[in-house]
């Protein structure tokens, strides 16, 4: 009994030591490593998407560094909340988000774990880029999930309207000026220049699209509402029966009948969706299927905000010409 008690006491002592060692190790690792990061000369801007990153680069110039989280070729609704993004957010001087619940499935836990007080929602370095933009498709009446994965606060793909691009840029420039007052004039100058160039490009894009005003297209997801509204085309149907719900055979059949009746000859597909169903629709209706990126970086040749519109409009105009100069 005595020997057993001694053995037990020795073991407990060893366990205590081991526990202390493990706890000590964790504490040492946690506290001994010095905190990295001192005052940086450039503002470190993190954006939710590449579109916002492209606009931030336009107004921030060489006074900021920009890192997007979601890539242009991935579905921005379904980004994985990887811990490596926490590290980006931890060091962010400014976080710009698309808002309208686009990032609701992945950004909140990242922000929460970032240990960065400034970028918490409502914080001085948190910017919701949608606040002054023109938002479409705000659902009216009774809203339930029977409508699909609807965004109760409106369509979050609003950056595909150049006028909204200007408003987003202004919000970013104002926020950058707020965070770095010494560079306020610089950001304002770059904003003016960006808006001027965008106005000029917009004239070019509008002129290209003008002959096709009222042309009808079908898109996979509700990504192009603002684009269609700005450039005068009509989105007459969607490959998805409801937002976020994959295509069903019955809906596809109904959509094909509608396209035949209304002589719709173009289907736009975001690069991250499977083109199998759109291609089948194309075969059945004779429509052209275009992989049309809604985001900067979605495909090669869309590396900035201007190139995105250049690419999309060139593709669309080409397809509309082939379709016979307008599918009204």
Partner 1 sequence: MRTTRWLIGCLVVVALVDCRPAFAQAGQAGDTQSLRQDITRLRQDFEALQKQYNDRLAALEAKLAASEGAASPNAAAPAAAAPGQPAQTAQVPTGAEGAGGPSGSLPVYGGASASSKIFNPDIAVIGDFLAAAGHNPVNPGRAFEMHESEASFQAVVDPYARADFFLSFGEEGVDLEEGFITFPTLPGGLLAKVGKMRAAFGKVNTLHNHVMPWTDRPLVTNNLVNGEDGINDAGVSVARLIPNPWFFMEATGQVFRGDSGNLFASSTRSDLSYIGHVRGYHDITEGTNIDVGGSYAYGHNDAGFTADGSSLVTQLYGMDVTLRWRPLRRAIYRSFVGRSELIWSRRDEPLGEQQAFGYYVSGDYQLARRWSTGARFDRSARATDASLYDTSGSLLLTYVPSEFSQLRGQYRRIHFGDEATANELLFQLQFSIGAHGAHPF
Provide the mask over 29-68, with x wherever binding to partner 1 is found by CB under 8 A and - wherever it is not: xxx-xxxxx-------------------------------
- How far apart are the C-alpha atoms of 244 and 222, rounded to whole Å? 9
Q: Which of 78, 131, 200, 283 binds partner 1 (CB under 8 A)?
A: 78
Among the listed residues 42, 63, 71, 134, the single contact to partner 1 using CB under 8 A: 71
How near is the Cβ of 172 to partner 1 at its closest, in Å? 23
Q: How far is the CB of 89 from partner 1 (least distance, A)?
A: 11
Mind giving me the DSSP string for 288-301?
A: EEEE--SSTTSSTT
Question: Could you count the other beta carbons within 10 Å of the beta carbon of residue 244?
Answer: 16
Among 46, 106, 215, 312, the residue binding partner 1 under the rule CB under 8 A is 106
Q: Is 244 in the site for partner 1 (CB under 8 A)?
A: yes
* b/e code 193-213 from CB counts within 10 Å (16+ = b): ebbeebeebbeebeebbeebe
Q: Give CA separation, 144 vs 152, 177, 221, 244, in Å.
A: 9, 41, 18, 14
Integer distance in angstroms from the first to the last C-alpha of the chain?
96
Single residue of 44, 61, 65, 90 touching partner 1 by CB under 8 A: 90
- Which residue in the set 38, 84, 142, 250 belongs to the binding site for partner 1 (CB under 8 A)? 84
Across the beta sheet with 234-238, the strand order is: 234-238, 216-219, 266-269, 288-291
How many other C-beta atoms can be found within 10 angstroms of the C-beta atom of residue 105? 15
Residues 179-238 that bind partner 1 (CB under 8 A): none
E strands, the chain, are: 43-47, 64-68, 94-97, 126-128, 216-219, 234-238, 266-269, 288-291
Contacting partner 1 (CB under 8 A), which of 13, 14, 27, 40? 27
> In whole angstroms, how close is the CB of 150 to partner 1 at the nearest point?
10
Residue 230, number of CB atoms within 10 A of its CB: 20
**Positions in 109-148 near partner 1 (CB under 8 A):** 109, 112-117, 120-122, 145, 148
**Is residue 249 near partner 1 by the rule CB under 8 A?**
no
Contact 226, 155 (CB under 8 A): yes
Under a CB-based contact definition with an 8 Å cutoff, are residues 286 and 267 in contact?
Answer: no
Among 131, 138, 245, 314, indicate the residue that binds partner 1 (CB under 8 A).
245
For partner 1, give the closer residue by CB, 116 or 164. 116
Question: Which of the stretches 71-79, 92-100, 164-172, 230-238 binds partner 1 when contact is defined by CB under 8 A?
Answer: 71-79
* CA–CA gap between residue 23 and residue 28 (Å, rounded): 8
Applying CB under 8 A, the residues found at the interface with partner 1 are 5, 8-9, 11-12, 15, 19, 22-23, 26-27, 29-31, 33-37, 71, 73-75, 78-84, 86-87, 90, 101, 104-106, 108-109, 112-117, 120-122, 145, 148-149, 244-246, 271-274
């Amino acid at each position: 009994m005595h020997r057993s008690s001694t053995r037990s006491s020795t073991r407990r002592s060893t366990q205590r030591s081991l526990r202390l060692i493990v706890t000590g190790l964790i504490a040492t690792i946690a506290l001994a490593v010095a905190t990295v990061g001192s005052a940086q000369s450039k503002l470190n801007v993190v954006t939710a998407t590449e579109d916002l990153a492209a606009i931030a680069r336009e107004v921030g110039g060489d006074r900021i560094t920009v890192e997007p989280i979601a890539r242009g070729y991935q579905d921005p609704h379904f980004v994985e909340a990887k811990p490596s993004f926490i590290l980006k957010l931890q060091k962010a001087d400014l976080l710009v988000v698309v808002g309208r619940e686009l990032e609701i499935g992945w950004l909140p836990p990242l922000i929460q774990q970032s240990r960065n007080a400034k970028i918490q929602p409502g914080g001085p370095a948190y910017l919701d880029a949608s606040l002054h933009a023109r938002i479409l498709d705000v659902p009216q009446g009774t809203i339930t999930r029977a409508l699909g994965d609807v965004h109760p606060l409106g369509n979050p793909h609003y950056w595909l309207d150049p006028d909204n691009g200007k408003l987003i840029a202004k919000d970013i420039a104002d926020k950058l000026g707020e965070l770095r007052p010494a560079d306020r004039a610089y950001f304002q100058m770059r904003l003016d220049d960006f808006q001027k160039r965008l106005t000029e490009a917009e004239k070019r894009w509008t002129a290209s699209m003008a002959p096709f005003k009222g042309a009808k297209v079908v898109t996979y997801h509700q990504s192009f509402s603002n684009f269609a509204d700005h450039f005068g085309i009509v989105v007459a149907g969607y490959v998805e029966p409801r937002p976020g719900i994959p295509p069903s055979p019955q809906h596809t059949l109904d959509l094909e009948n509608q396209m035949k009746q209304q002589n719709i000859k173009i289907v736009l597909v975001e690069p991250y969706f499977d083109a199998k169903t759109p291609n089948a629709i194309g075969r059945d209706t004779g429509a052209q299927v275009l992989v049309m990126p809604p985001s900067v970086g979605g495909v090669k040749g869309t590396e900035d905000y201007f190139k995105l519109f250049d690419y999309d409009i060139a593709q669309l105009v080409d397809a509309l010409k082939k379709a016979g100069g307008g599918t009204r």
